[in-house]
Amino acid sequence: MNMLETYGQRIEKEINSYSFPLKPSNLYDPLRYFMTLGGKRMRPMLTLMSAKLFGKTMEDAIHAAMTVELFHNFSLIHDDIMDEAPLRRAQQTVHEKWNTNIAILSGDVLFVKAYEELSKSPGHLIPELLVLFNRTAIEVCEGQQMDMDFETRDDVSSEEYIEMIRLKTSVLLGCALEMGAIIGETNPENRSSLYSFGVHLGIAFQIQDDLLDLYGNPEKVGKQVGGDVLANKKTLLSILAKTHANSSQLETLSKLQVELNDSYKISETKLIFEQLQIESLCKQEMKRHYTLAMKALNQIETQESAFELEQLAEFLFHREY
Amino acid sequence: MNMLETYGQRIEKEINSYSFPLKPSNLYDPLRYFMTLGGKRMRPMLTLMSAKLFGKTMEDAIHAAMTVELFHNFSLIHDDIMDEAPLRRAQQTVHEKWNTNIAILSGDVLFVKAYEELSKSPGHLIPELLVLFNRTAIEVCEGQQMDMDFETRDDVSSEEYIEMIRLKTSVLLGCALEMGAIIGETNPENRSSLYSFGVHLGIAFQIQDDLLDLYGNPEKVGKQVGGDVLANKKTLLSILAKTHANSSQLETLSKLQVELNDSYKISETKLIFEQLQIESLCKQEMKRHYTLAMKALNQIETQESAFELEQLAEFLFHREY
């Protein structure tokens, strides 16, 4: 994946040379810290790849790419407060390392920094970029609110869950790609196809995440198997299980929520999921979105090949079960 | 002040007809609530008045005006969390009425809504509006961080304090006026004069606020006299007193910080302030900024008269001592 590395390196270079003011240090130190914690930088890479489809260089699209990456990091800082997460990328979260007030305010500044990057794009493209970015930012907040609302709800449907992950995580992938298409000054059809590719890819990716948590190879996934089950987290798996379970299975699932023996809790949950063919149902839904993503990608009319994006999509779904 | 009322009514009408989505209700109910708590709407009025100087109607400038008002309300929602304020405009703050997570997230959405209003301005003006608005939003955050940092510092100078209020509150008045000037498509000199008018007016206004807390007529000010003194709040008064006090006065001031008898605390503090002529020193600084504001206003070259803005400034400083 040499081409991917080239994009990744360009993004890293931009982030490493990105300079926050020195003062007030309580505002900017957390941002210097958080922005260099790493991450796949998948979103800004999508923007660069998308712009390249229409003959633009990485330099043409770097500010749009940074807009998406800065926004993504802002949303992580604020989400970590709301989720009371102690760690992010195996390091302390901002509200843990500093405090909640500093995490709120430095998050706010990072959000403006995203808009500042957007304002560095060519002037005639800014209005369109701004409309797309605003809509996306609002949707991401709506998705986060839905996710929080789900915690106290017992009747979340799989449709609602998919809508939540569409808003919370997938529209930003769509936005990253469409921003590249705006920089590329292509037609509305191509813009819309790239957006659609990103959204469906994002949904498929999130479902895969849910699946890997329980069915992934622990060595390759790099975290404890069944973590979502142990935390009683709402995932597509647990929601589908609840929808399809008979009354006896429902009762068992309900009892397992308070089970203290971890390995028993996981094995018994897996047993019911097996009876209900949950893994297969989730894979079907994942593949449906993956296929929709590929269909959207094939509709793009461009002189450059969309081969890189196809390669990226395949790469993302090569995580082993 | 009939003209002021006309502007105020136009803003109220826009806010009342402003429609947030119904769902997720935990995200948008707080915004419906907070936006209608009232307030002077001084900032958006400045935008409308500024645009009018260059022959623009209220309709031409209404989206820029709303940008500033929505941003101001976003910053209040987040500041109230950080300051742990239970009340805003005599009503519960968002984090009190709902919770901190909801206040963070609905604040974030309101911030985007400000940018959404900005994006409704004429396309060719959006890049300039965006650059000004981004810079201002960052400065407001920096001012809030300085204010929080000051709480645990004992050596804040009057210059640092003025810089803090310039960032935290005054640049937004400057921005509101300059946005009107951008909508009015006037020259850079006029833009800069209006910005400067707003910033100095804002600083003078904030110093007046500090003065009124201790020397205001309680019936006209509408709050307890000496509230800042009782809360040991850093104001221009307390900072200047500390700078000018001799060692014996310093000792008394330090003891008064933990004094439990409220009326004694206020009267003794006032006594030292009198010895050090603090009221007069603050008034000098206030008048200096008021004069700078008026000077900037007089430099504006326009066919319309800036009389309305002058009238507004005089009105704002007519609050009785």
- For residue A82, the chain B residues in CB contact (below 8 A) are 101, 104-105
Residue A244 CB coordination number (10 Å): 17
pLDDT score, position B222: 62
> What CA–CA distances, in Å, run from A6 to A14, A49, B213?
13, 11, 60
The whole-chain average pLDDT of chain A stands at: 94
Query: Could you tell me if residue B212 is inside a domain?
Result: yes
- For residue A118, the chain B residues in CB contact (below 8 A) are 130
Q: Distance between CA A11 and CA A314 in Å, rounded?
A: 21
Among candidate residues A199, A184, A31, the one with its CA nearest the CA of residue A114: A31
Closest in A100, A108, A119 to B141, CB measured: A108
CB pairs under 8 A between A and B: 101
pLDDT score, position B321: 42
φ/ψ of residue A92, rounded to 5: -60, 140
Which tokens hold the place of A65? Answer: 């790419």
Which tokens hold the place of A115? Answer: 């808009």
CA distance A82 to chain B (A): 5
Among candidate residues B230, B220, B223, B197, the one with its CA nearest the CA of residue B309: B197
Which tokens hold the place of B51? Answer: 């645009």
Question: E strands of A201-320, at which residues?
Answer: none
Q: Distance between CA A142 and CA A148 in Å, rounded?
A: 10
Query: Could you tell me if residue B233 is inside a domain?
Result: yes
The answer for B 109-128 residues in CB contact with A (under 8 A) is 109, 111-113, 115-116, 118-119, 123, 126-127
pLDDT score, position A222: 62
Q: Do B145 and A26 touch (CB under 8 A)?
A: yes
Rg (CA), chain A: 20
Q: Distance between CA B155 and CA A281 in Å, rounded?
A: 65
Residue B260's CATH number:
1.10.600.10
- For residue A168, the chain B residues in CB contact (below 8 A) are none
Among candidate residues B248, B216, B220, the one with its CA nearest the CA of residue B235: B216
Task: Say if residues A240 and A276 touch (Cβ distance below 8 Å).
Answer: yes
Q: Mark B281-317 as b/e (b = at least 16 C-beta within 10 Å).
A: bbbebbeebbebbbebbeebebeeebebbeebbeebe
Query: Could you tell me if residue B254 is inside a domain?
Result: yes
B225 lies in which domain range?
187-321
Query: Could you tell me if residue B158 is inside a domain?
Result: no
- For residue A145, the chain B residues in CB contact (below 8 A) are 24, 26-27, 102, 105
The answer to whether residue B24 neighbours chain A at the CB level (below 8 Å) is: yes
The answer to whether residue B188 neighbours chain A at the CB level (below 8 Å) is: no
DSSP B109-163: HHHHHHHHHHTTS-GGGHHHHHHHHHHHHHHHHHHHHHHHHHHT-S---HHHHHH
Task: Say if residues B321 and B216 touch (Cβ distance below 8 Å).
Answer: yes
Query: Could you tell me if residue B155 is inside a domain?
Result: no
pLDDT score, position A217: 81
Which residues make Cβ contacts (< 8 Å) with residue A71, sequence separation at least 6? Answer: A111, A114, A133, A137, A140, A172
Q: Distance between CA B285 and CA B262 in Å, rounded?
A: 28
pLDDT in tens, chain B (321 residues): 578 889 999 999 999 999 999 999 999 999 999 999 988 899 999 999 999 999 999 999 999 999 999 999 999 999 999 999 999 999 999 999 999 999 999 999 999 999 999 999 999 999 999 999 999 999 999 999 999 999 999 899 999 999 999 999 999 999 999 999 999 999 999 999 999 999 999 999 999 999 999 998 877 666 678 999 999 999 999 999 999 999 999 999 999 999 999 999 999 999 999 999 999 999 999 999 999 999 999 999 887 778 889 888 887 777 544
pLDDT score, position B86: 94
The answer to whether residue A188 neighbours chain B at the CB level (below 8 Å) is: no
Q: Distance between CA B116 and CA B232 in Å, rounded?
A: 40
Q: DSSP secondary-structure letter at B293?
A: H
- For residue A66, the chain B residues in CB contact (below 8 A) are none
Bridge-based pairing of strands A87-88 and B91-92 is unpaired
Which residues make Cβ contacts (< 8 Å) with residue B116, sequence separation at least 6? Answer: A134, A138
The answer to whether residue B149 neighbours chain A at the CB level (below 8 Å) is: yes
Residue A321 binned pLDDT confidence (cut-offs 50, 70, 90): very low
| Predicted model pTM | 0.95
> What CA–CA distances, in Å, run from A190 to A296, B152, B241?
9, 55, 66
- For residue B119, the chain A residues in CB contact (below 8 A) are 127, 130-131, 134
> What CA–CA distances, in Å, run from B292 to A257, B54, B199, B200, B224?
67, 22, 10, 6, 31
Closest in B104, B105, B138 to A112, CB measured: B138
Phi-psi region of B212 (alpha: psi -120 to 50; beta: other; left: phi over 0): alpha
Among candidate residues A173, A124, A164, A121, the one with its CA nearest the CA of residue A146: A164
Query: Could you tell me if residue B310 is inside a domain?
Result: yes
Task: Say if residues B53 and B304 touch (Cβ distance below 8 Å).
Answer: yes
Lowest mean pLDDT among A153-167, A177-191, B166-180, B213-227: B213-227
Any bridge partners for residue B307, and if so which? none
The answer to whether residue A105 neighbours chain B at the CB level (below 8 Å) is: yes
Domain total in chain B: 1
Query: Could you tell me if residue B280 is inside a domain?
Result: yes
CA distance A28 to chain B (A): 9
By C-alpha distance, the chain A residue nearest B150 is: A24
CA distance A167 to chain B (A): 12
The answer to whether residue A100 neighbours chain B at the CB level (below 8 Å) is: yes
φ/ψ of residue B247, rounded to 5: -65, -35
Q: Do B104 and A101 touch (CB under 8 A)?
A: no
Query: In a 10 Å sphere around its CB, with 0-12 CB exposed, 13-18 middle and 19+ buried, how is residue B85 labelled?
Result: middle
Evaluate if residue A319 carries a pLDDT over 70.
Answer: no
Query: Could you tell me if residue B57 is inside a domain?
Result: no
Q: pLDDT tens across A66-91, in order?
A: 999 999 999 999 999 999 999 999 99
